[in-house]
Homo-oligomer: A and B are copies of this chain.
Amino acid sequence: MAVRRADVVAAALGILDQFGLADLTMRRVGSALEVKAGALYWHFPNKQSLLAAVADAILAEVVAPEPGPWRPWLAAWTDRLRTTLLRHRDAAELVSATLATGLGAVDLGTPPARVLHGAGLGEADARAAARALVHLTLGQVSEEQTRATLSEVGVVSGHDPEAAARDHAAGVALLLDGLAFRLRD
């Protein structure tokens, strides 16, 4: 039974979820598929491309909110992005890295930028605001996930998920206030 590209991505995502990014090696993905590491290079040119595909798979889970007023739409979208990232171990770090390399296919900033542009913001400002929202979320979740892992191992104590959610919402609300100020008549 030949392994297909999608099988490789699924296996990699499974390893990420169970063991984290540090254990996501080509050799481990291969052995999960009962195949040697070298075989993966038939499907992907290198490890980074495989990681980008995993990041894309994760981001595809973010469902866009129903069309509506820009502020609740953005608040909901940001929250869904956060929740999706939290569902997969080390996902924020993985997505950040992929976003930086530019290898990912999913354009994370486009949906919020479109909404903001539709609300009357200039295109450049809309893109800048979308980037800010994305970086804010990735940064907060990345810190939260690392802390969660560390507290699991017992290195650090008292990781509070509700406090993290509030922190994130506070940062987002600040940005949305700034946007409301820009969009006022």
Please report A residues at the B interface, Cβ cutoff 8 Å: 93, 96, 99-102, 124-125, 127-129, 131-132, 134-136, 138-140, 142-143, 145-147, 150, 156, 166-167, 170-171, 173-182
A176 touches B175 (CB 8 A): no
CB distance from A162 to the nearest CB of B (A): 13
CB distance from A146 to the nearest CB of B (A): 4
A102 touches B150 (CB 8 A): yes
Knowing A171-B131, A171-B132, the reply to whether A143 touches B99 (Cβ < 8 A) is yes
| Listed residue (A96, A99, A132, A136) with the most chain B CB atoms within 10 angstroms of its CB | A132
Copies in the assembly, this chain: 2
Taking A101-B146, A128-B171 as known contacts, 20 extra A-B pairs with beta carbons closer than 8 A to each other, sorted by chain A number, are A93-B100, A96-B139, A100-B143, A101-B150, A102-B146, A124-B170, A127-B167, A128-B166, A128-B167, A129-B171, A132-B136, A132-B175, A135-B135, A135-B136, A136-B136, A174-B178, A176-B178, A177-B177, A177-B182, A178-B179
